[in-house]
Amino acid sequence: MDGRVATEAAIDKFDAENQAYYGVFADENGDPVVFRDEKTGAFYTRINTNNIEPRITQVGIASREALQGIPNALFSETAIPMRALASGVPMMNAMAAFHDRMCDVLAIDQTALVAITIIPASILTVSASEVPLANLIVATLNAKESAGV
């Protein structure tokens, strides 16, 4: 990810059609890694976030049934505030993609730990970027002004 803002809506990371397109997490033998939904007890595979294109929103919580009502409307990947962050704040979407992958690799799944690790993911994303953040902010503002947004 190069830090540009997202331009397309989030995808369902649990949908079988999307999994077929993007691929799923696999172990060293190439077998799909299976996750368990804590609320329903159902098992599922999850899309390999490395294969999701940078233009697709990844800011917010990607969970099958963990969010309902107001939390879903505010914090899910498809929620308007999260889409606004991904499409309006440079490096936010890149950080979200990196954070998803980091939590998967380190097997971090407790809500508090997931939330806390956003801070180091943000620092690492901005510091590892080849494009200075200031340049991305100016480019984003110019693009929005040109589009009349």
What is the average pLDDT across 116-121? 93
Percentage of the chain lying above the pLDDT 70 cut: 90
Residue 76 has pLDDT above 70, yes or no: yes
User: What's the pLDDT tens digit per position in 8-57?
Assistant: 888 887 777 888 888 887 778 888 877 776 667 777 777 777 778 888 88
What is the average pLDDT across 73-82? 85
In a domain, 10, yes or no: no
More confident residue, 127 or 122: 122
State the total domains in the chain: 1
Query: What is the overall mean pLDDT for the chain?
Result: 80
Write down the pTM of the prediction: 0.69
In a domain, 100, yes or no: yes
What pLDDT, on the 0 to 100 scale, is given for residue 117?
A: 93
More confident residue, 128 or 56: 56
In a domain, 54, yes or no: yes
Best CA proximity match to 21, nearest among 42, 52, 44, 45: 52
Dig out the tokens for 1 from the structure.
């990810």
What pLDDT, on the 0 to 100 scale, is given for residue 1?
A: 55
* Cα 117 from Cα 105, distance rounded (Å): 13
* Cα 46 from Cα 14, distance rounded (Å): 5
* Cα 93 from Cα 44, distance rounded (Å): 24
What pLDDT, on the 0 to 100 scale, is given for residue 101?
A: 83
* Cα 39 from Cα 66, distance rounded (Å): 7
Range of the domain at 99: 16-146
In a domain, 7, yes or no: no
What pLDDT, on the 0 to 100 scale, is given for residue 118?
A: 93
Q: DSSP letter at 62? A: -
In a domain, 11, yes or no: no
User: What's the pLDDT tens digit per position in 58-74?
Assistant: 898 876 555 677 877 88
* Cα 128 from Cα 131, distance rounded (Å): 9
Q: DSSP letter at 104? A: H
In a domain, 4, yes or no: no
